[in-house]
Chains A and B, each alone.
Chain A
Amino acid sequence: MGLTITEKIFSAHCKKECRAGDVVMAPVDGAMIHDITGPLAINVMKEMGGGSVFDPKKVIMLFDHQIPADSISAAENHVMMRTFAREQGIHNYDIKEGVCHQVVPEKGRVKPGDIVVGSDSHTCAYGALGAFSTGIGSTDMAYVLKFGELYFRVPETIRINANGKFQDRVGPKDLILTLAGDIGADGATYRALEFCGNAFSDMDIPGRMTCANMAIEMGAKAGIVPPDEKTWEYLRGRTDCTPFSLASDEDAKFFETRDYDVSKINPKIAVPHNVDNVVDVTEVAGKPVDQVFIGSCTNGRYEDFARAAEVLGDNVFSEDVRVIMVPASKAEYMKVLKAGLIEKFVEAGALVEAPCCGPCMGGAFGLLAPGEVSLSTSNRNFRGRQGSAESFVYLSSPETAAASAVTGVITDPREV
């Protein structure tokens, strides 16, 4: 019997055949820590006996959640991490590069076939490049920092076979929201999702990142797109790795295969307060929104802002809506800037902020008051996620967010 991509990646790392269900100790190729979960990992590593990190070149450090420091305690955490980076010889991107899940791929810190862990649940995003990447807690991270390996249960795989061509103004976010709605918030717990079919082979890397990023919203441990020409093209100049083939065997055993025709998918929206609470945008159209956020590790890339700009056209944003836009990294910010989109957005009434996690997790800025409604391109709409527990967060594509920011009410982007 053949192996899935995930089983192949674990087999290669453990130098023995690994099958779903096996509990293995596997070496990692990268370990990412940021300003929220990093300090705890560092403290716990010290409790474990301290010493040197397993390999400073494989540790990725940056600050993205509360930057520039929004409180004295955040500033103190940054100082503590900077000190640790200096002592350990770890390159620290600090507050200068952007959101972890954009910066790690962008800087060539992950490649197909790698096992990468991050103390952030959306670390599954690097599956967009054919890596097995997963989010872990700070104590697990402390163990990784010290020993360079971690125990894993090799997951079963749910294969998503998506084919067809998206309708205009419908895209990867609508597809992944559709999946979240169908599979449910815990439908893929302990499993890996594998994204196949021509909808994925036609999809650009940013779109694949949007999808892999949200695998965790179904409880999945990873979300993997098999590497192809587009993957190797993306990695050229970022890493020195040469193309190789990595795909599940024909006779690999899948837990389940789900088929989708993406041409039938309409613009989708997750309504409060769960990510799997997904309906067609038309079902909640007309609902007034107070704030629109376009950005995050899910939808903060140039392509996302280009989609929003296309929908905006020559319109301006509604007087009644606060539009906050945050490109996910310095490089993406520069692309958006050079394309003239920042000028366009600012003139249309948006605030365009420097790269960071922004309002996504209700920490640094853009928090909501009781009763307020936010439409966000990020990945979670849990109660209180973006501020008051009495506020309401909806999740959508950049197209739907832009259309709604123009009209001031939730709007199907095909109607603007």
Chain B
Amino acid sequence: MGRAWKFGNDIDTDAIIPGRFLTIYDPKELASHAFEGTRREFSKEAKDGDVIVAGRNFGCGSSREHAPLALKGAGIEFVVAKSFARIFYRNAINTGVLPLVCPDTDKIADGAEVFVNLKEAYIEADKKTYPLEPIPVFMMRIVEAGGLVEYAKMRGNK
């Protein structure tokens, strides 16, 4: 169980982690600047088990992988949104923050008590459940391997 951090549409990667922090690579340190300009309390209050719940096109903009890393450093394991920007979606999968598509995020309130059941593909929010769309088969292979780094290790050295 964690709390829902509710965001709107078109949350860009500059909002998630501003450009002036891109020389940092440590997830914890990045997390201390997450949403610094737009949602200052996030970096102080987010904790393990919390879930980001957003509208359309989450993670648009820059390809900076610092964005999912900052969320990971803040303890976020799942981002549940109506849709994702393409590069963020891949980056999130690769870094172990799972992007999950849910058409019903409007029904989930900020601060709701939430829980993601990945196996049965639903998110529970304030005791109501909403279905999650399945992760595409190819992406699931990477998820199951434990991320792209592990997937690459399995493939071995050339």
Contact = CB atoms under 8 A, between A and B. Distances in A.
Contacts of B65: 37, 40, 137-139
Interface in A123-143: 123, 135-140, 142-143
A384 B64 CA distance: 15
A186 B61 contact: no
Given A40-B25, A147-B152, A185-B10, A389 B61 contact: no
A183 B150 CA distance: 37
A361 B38 contact: no
Contacts of B10: 185-186, 274
A23 to B, nearest CB: 5
Contacts of B24: 73
B151 to A, nearest CB: 8
A98 to B, nearest CB: 18
A66 B23 contact: yes
Given A39-B25, A221-B86, A49 B156 contact: yes
A73 B87 contact: no
B138 A23 contact: yes
Interface in A171-227: 185-186, 189-190, 219, 221
Contacts of A44: 149
A382 B63 contact: no
- With most chain B CB atoms within 10 A of its CB, the pick from A137, A143, A221 is A137
Given A146-B152, A147-B158, A186 B94 contact: no
B77 interface: no
Contact of B86 (A43, A147, A190, A388): A190
Nearest to B85: A219
Contacts of B153: 48-49
A186 B64 contact: no
A362 B20 contact: yes
Contacts of A190: 86
A140 B152 contact: no
A361 B61 CA distance: 11
Nearest to B152: A48
Interface string B137-158: 0100000000111001101111
Contact of B83 (A146, A189, A362): A189
Nearest to A191: B86
Contacts of B57: 185-186, 189, 219
Contacts of A74: 23
A166 interface: no
A137 B15 CA distance: 17
B60 interface: yes
A378 B13 CA distance: 16
Contacts of B104: none
A380 interface: yes
A151 B19 contact: no
- With most chain A CB atoms within 10 A of its CB, the pick from B10, B15, B23, B155 is B23
Interface residues of B, number: 42
B90 A140 contact: yes
A319 to B, nearest CB: 29
A382 B20 contact: no
B2 interface: no
A120 interface: yes
A47 interface: yes
Contacts of A165: none
A382 B14 contact: yes
A39 B69 CA distance: 14
A315 interface: no
A395 B12 CA distance: 16
B134 to A, nearest CB: 15
Nearest to B69: A40
A186 to B, nearest CB: 4
Given A23-B138, A219-B57, A380-B14, A140 B38 contact: no
A383 B85 contact: no
A151 B57 CA distance: 22
A54 B158 CA distance: 9
Contacts of A120: 62-63
B18 interface: yes
A71 B5 CA distance: 33
B22 A36 contact: yes
20 contacts: A23-B138, A37-B64, A65-B22, A73-B23, A121-B63, A136-B87, A137-B63, A139-B65, A139-B147, A146-B158, A185-B57, A185-B60, A186-B85, A189-B83, A219-B57, A274-B10, A362-B19, A382-B12, A383-B12, A384-B18
Closest 4 CB pairs of A and B: A389-B37, A137-B91, A139-B94, A186-B57
Given A151-B138, A383-B14, 12 more contacts: A37-B63, A51-B158, A120-B62, A137-B65, A138-B65, A138-B91, A143-B152, A186-B83, A189-B86, A363-B19, A384-B15, A389-B38
